[in-house]
């Protein structure tokens, strides 16, 4: 194998055992030998263990020169082909790992012959001393170079292995991170899906609950409407039956009234006939006596004189105007019938109390308590109405006792200050619509307490004393037997008239409504005189019932008020009494200011929310 020129380059650190190596040497052979000798000396002196190839003699350059070589001749190194292959393989491996361009030693005039093997052998055979002398240094240098190359290779392999390990670790970490990220993404997606499903389920449940509530509410409303329709139908049916019953009663009453009138006419005719017969008999007797007197004039004169002197009985004619009750005949008849019913009721109650051992006082106390608890609110009025009807439906107590207690407690409660007349009248009307006969008994109690609810008035001349006159008007006595004052009497009179006015203006199922109120006002204007008592009664009545009377009768009511202004008020003013001034001003302002156009205070029942409910 032909070997060409090779430029060698040492791949070693710049210092080996503190000896610097020039990367670009420009040495002669003598310089190289001297440097190697110095290196050997330093190595031998620094090592405590003898080296296996240590030399006792230093290299002798002169022997080389005596062999025909001078210092300027080029250095020839012969390298076997096998060694070159190993070096080339190692160089290529180092070059591949480091990716570096190879560098070579640069020796001045270093020449490697390309001659054949025989020439090389002859050259080495001619120079045995050189190989013997240089072999240890070169082998040491070569060994150091190889060790260095091995260390470098090992270091490079370790670094590459470390880098590969780190790269693999980083790759594993990246893959693990990517796996974790993908797992987290999948878990998050699954969680979002579950949350979305749960949220949709909640929405569906909420929607279902809402639809259920709405459906239930609609069902409740439907039931309420159906119940209301049934109640209205039952109410209308009951109202129709009551109207039919009322019509039947009115027909029966009219027939009885007609029968009574007919009987009265017959009795009157019979009485008239009897009186006529008595008158004729008296005339005949008078004529007979006159004829006899003409026959015996002296006897009759003496008889008349003796009768006059002896003070015997004489016939007194009734004085003109002996009947001083000022009232309409129809009003007196109604009063008489109502008082008769009340008297019969009292007798029945007394008979029940005497014949029964049961204590009915608790029912009377419950009724009195409920009447006293009535206020001007809708809830209170409905509750008290319900409680009173519940008592009237209790079969353990006779109806007469409950009715008598209701009539007495209603009238006695009028004296309570701040009595809500409209609310109390509303309760009375609702109760009497279910118990119709109770209205006449309540009115009878009112007539006993206040004669102006009839209306009627007594003249002073009909009584022998003021005490009897005041008692007839309705004045009360105290515990000492003294008559109450006029102001106290007028206060009670006003409260009674307010209750009566509130009673007649309540129109829902009222058996004593605006028709009776209009009749009362007409009878009052036509029959009663103008005085302080009647003026207070009229003012109280107009305040309570004038608004409803105007709504129903309109111009007729206004004409009647004009009659009051023209006749009644003028009669009061003509009396010139200063005590009449307040009531005159009140009635006059009511008519002139047309206060009957304004709804009176308290007519609207207030609910707990301060809203108003009109009392019809």
Q: Which residues are CB-neighbours of 413 under 8 A, at least 6 positions away?
A: 368, 371, 372, 419, 424
Q: Which of 33, 29, 37 is nearest to 55 (CA)?
A: 37
Tokens for 559?
Answer: 């004409």
Q: Which residues are CB-neighbours of 276 under 8 A, at least 6 positions away?
A: none
Q: How many CB atoms lie within 10 A of CB 8?
A: 15
Give the C-alpha separation, 44 to 54, whole Å: 7
Q: How many CB atoms lie within 10 A of CB 242?
A: 15
Q: Which of 111, 28, 18, 37 is nearest to 72 (CA)?
A: 28
Give the C-alpha separation, 414 to 442, whole Å: 12
Q: What pLDDT is recorded for position 62?
A: 46
pTM: 0.50
- CA-angle at 143, arms to 141 and 144, nearest 5°: 65
* Residue 551: C-alpha distances to residues 181, 596, 613 (Å): 88, 9, 18
Q: Which residues are CB-neighbours of 131 under 8 A, at least 6 positions away?
A: 124
Average pLDDT per 10 consecutive residues for the chain, totaling 616 residues: 44 51 60 78 63 50 44 47 53 47 42 43 42 64 84 83 84 87 89 89 90 88 84 79 78 74 70 66 62 44 34 32 74 94 91 82 91 91 91 88 93 87 93 91 94 93 87 88 90 95 90 94 93 95 95 93 93 90 94 93 73 45
Q: Do 339 and 444 touch, CB atoms closer than 8 A?
A: yes
Residue 75 dihedral angles phi and psi, to the nearest 5°: -85, 125
Q: Do 131 and 189 touch, CB atoms closer than 8 A?
A: no
Q: Which residues are CB-neighbours of 378 under 8 A, at least 6 positions away?
A: 605, 606, 607, 613
Cα torsion 555, 561, 567, 570: sign: negative
Q: Which residues are CB-neighbours of 357 under 8 A, at least 6 positions away?
A: none
Q: Provide the CB-side half-sphere exposure for 264 (13 A, CA).
A: 6
Q: What pLDDT is recorded for position 34?
A: 82
| DSSP one-letter string for 473-496 | HT--B-TTSPBPPHHHHHHHHHHH
Peptide bond into 455 cis (omega under 30): yes
Q: Which of 38, 36, 39 is nearest to 17 (CA)?
A: 39
Give the C-alpha separation, 193 to 191, whole Å: 5
Report, in this order, helix, strand and coil percent for the chain, each rounded to 5: 70, 5, 25
Q: What pLDDT is recorded for position 539?
A: 95
- CA-angle at 593, arms to 590 and 594, nearest 5°: 75
Q: Do 134 and 59 touch, CB atoms closer than 8 A?
A: yes
Q: What pLDDT is recorded for position 304?
A: 34
Q: What pLDDT is recorded for position 397?
A: 87
Tokens for 271?
Answer: 């009485």
Give the C-alpha separation, 603 to 183, whole Å: 80
587 CB-contact burial (10 Å; exposed 0-12 / middle 13-18 / buried 19+)? buried
DSSP assigned state of 320: T
Tokens for 372?
Answer: 């006293």
Give the C-alpha separation, 12 to 351, whole Å: 150
| DSSP one-letter string for 199-267 | HHHHHHHHHHHHHHHHHHHHHHHHHHHHHHHHHHHHHHHHHHHHHHHHHHHHHHHHHHHHHHHHHHHHH
- CA-angle at 218, arms to 213 and 224, nearest 5°: 125
* pLDDT one-digit tens code per residue, 307-324: 333 333 333 333 333 357
Q: What pLDDT is recorded for position 231?
A: 83
Q: Do 584 and 475 touch, CB atoms closer than 8 A?
A: no
Give the C-alpha separation, 66 to 204, whole Å: 115
């Amino acid at each position: 194998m032909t070997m060409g020129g090779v430029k060698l380059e040492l791949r070693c650190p710049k210092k080996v055992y503190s000896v610097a190596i020039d990367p670009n040497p420009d040495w002669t052979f003598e310089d190289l030998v001297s440097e190697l000798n110095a290196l050997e000396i330093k190595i031998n002196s620094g090592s405590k263990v003898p080296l296996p190839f240590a030399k006792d003699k230093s290299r002798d350059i002169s022997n080389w020169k005596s062999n025909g070589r001078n210092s300027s001749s080029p250095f020839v190194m012969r390298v076997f082909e096998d060694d070159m292959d190993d070096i080339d393989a190692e160089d290529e491996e180092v070059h591949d790992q480091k990716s570096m361009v190879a560098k070579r030693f640069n020796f001045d005039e270093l020449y490697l012959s390309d001659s054949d093997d025989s020439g090389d052998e002859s050259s080495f055979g001619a120079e045995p001393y050189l190989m013997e002398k240089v072999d240890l240094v070169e082998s040491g240098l070569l060994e150091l170079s190889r060790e260095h190359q091995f260390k470098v290779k090992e270091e490079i392999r370790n670094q590459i292995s470390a880098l590969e390990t780190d790269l693999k670790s980083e790759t594993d970490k990246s893959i693990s991170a990517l796996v974790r990220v993908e797992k987290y993404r999948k878990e998050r997606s699954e969680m979002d899906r579950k949350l979305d499903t749960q949220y949709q389920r909640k929405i569906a449940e909420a929607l279902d609950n809402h639809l259920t509530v709405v459906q239930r509410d609609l069902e409740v409303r439907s039931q309420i409407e159906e119940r209301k329709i049934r109640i209205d139908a039952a109410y209308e049916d009951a109202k129709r039956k009551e109207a039919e019953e009322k019509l039947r009663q009115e027909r029966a009453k009219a027939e009885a009234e007609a029968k009574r009138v007919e009987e009265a006419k017959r009795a009157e005719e019979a009485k008239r006939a009897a009186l006529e017969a008595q008158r004729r008999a008296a005339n005949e007797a008078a004529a007979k006596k006159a004829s006899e007197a003409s026959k015996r004039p002296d006897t009759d004169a003496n008889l008349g004189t003796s009768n006059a002197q002896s003070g015997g009985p004489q016939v007194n004619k009734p004085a003109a105007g002996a009947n001083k009750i000022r009232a309409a005949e129809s009003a007196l008849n109604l009063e008489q019938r109502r008082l008769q019913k009340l008297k019969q009721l009292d007798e029945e109650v007394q008979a029940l109390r005497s014949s029964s051992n049961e204590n009915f006082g608790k029912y009377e106390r419950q009724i009195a308590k409920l009447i006293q608890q009535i206020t001007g609110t809708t809830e209170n009025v409905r509750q008290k109405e319900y409680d009173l009807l519940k008592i009237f439906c209790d079969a353990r107590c006779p109806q007469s006792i409950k009715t008598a207690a209701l009539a007495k407690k209603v009238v006695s409660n009028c004296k309570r200050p701040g009595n809500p007349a409209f609310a109390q009248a509303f309760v009375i009307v609702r109760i009497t619509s279910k118990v119709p006969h109770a209205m006449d008994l309540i009115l009878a109690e009112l007539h006993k307490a206040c004669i102006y609810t009839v209306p009627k008035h007594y003249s002073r001349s009909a009584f022998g004393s003021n005490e009897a006159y005041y008692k007839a008007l309705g004045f009360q006595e105290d515990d000492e037997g003294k008559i109450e004052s006029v102001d106290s009497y007028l206060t009670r009179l006003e409260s009674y008239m307010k209750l009566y006015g509130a009673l007649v203006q309540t129109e829902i199922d009222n058996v004593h409504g605006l028709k009776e109120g209009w009749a009362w006002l007409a009878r009052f204007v036509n029959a009663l005189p103008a005085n302080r008592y009647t003026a207070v009664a009229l003012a109280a009545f107009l305040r309570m019932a004038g608004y409803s009377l105007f709504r129903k009768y309109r111009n007729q009511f206004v004409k009647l008020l004009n009659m009051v202004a023209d006749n009644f008020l003028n009669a009061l003013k003509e009396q010139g009494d200063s005590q009449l001034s307040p009531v005159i001003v009140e009635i006059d302002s009511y008519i002139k200011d047309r206060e009957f156009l304004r709804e009176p205070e308290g007519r609207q029942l207030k609910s707990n929310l301060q809203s108003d409910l009109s009392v019809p």
